[in-house]
Amino acid sequence: MKHDRTDALVLTIGGLFALLTIGMTFDIWQLAWLPIPILSVVMIALGCLDRYGRWGASLPPVLIFGVVLTSLFVWAGLVLFDSGRFGGLQSGVGVVYYVIWPFVTVFSGLLYAVVYARWLRHDVSR
């Protein structure tokens, strides 16, 4: 049996879901929190593969999105138990509400459009 990039991404998704399940089952917030941005990027990266298992031209924007999103999640995790305020909310909630939520709302749609326009549309039309 030949394993390709799609198999590796699906195994990665399974491993991340296992971490999430362990974190939620045993109340380890880091395991329930930190895999979320990585899981999002891996699922979007599936769209960057063509039917032959090659990476498309839209992979660099997906990776940049992943680095920024993971950094924002780490920032929110670091200030989660901080007593400070961000935008009138507790710091961790403020980062999620005022930074992560708008970032994901705007850029995930744009990222999908980039993936579709640069790669998926051409692969579907072949």
Q: What is the pLDDT of residues 8-58, one digit of tens each?
A: 999 999 999 999 999 999 999 999 999 999 999 999 888 888 777 888 888
Q: Count up the domains in the chain and report the number.
A: 1
Q: How far apart are CA 13 and CA 110, in angstroms?
A: 23
Work out the angle between the directed axes of helices 59-78 and 101-115 (0-180°, nearest 10): 170
Give the model's confidence band at 1: pLDDT under 50 very low, under 70 low, under 90 confident, else very high.
Answer: low
Domain that holds residue 16: 5-125
- Evaluate if residue 125 carries a pLDDT over 70: no
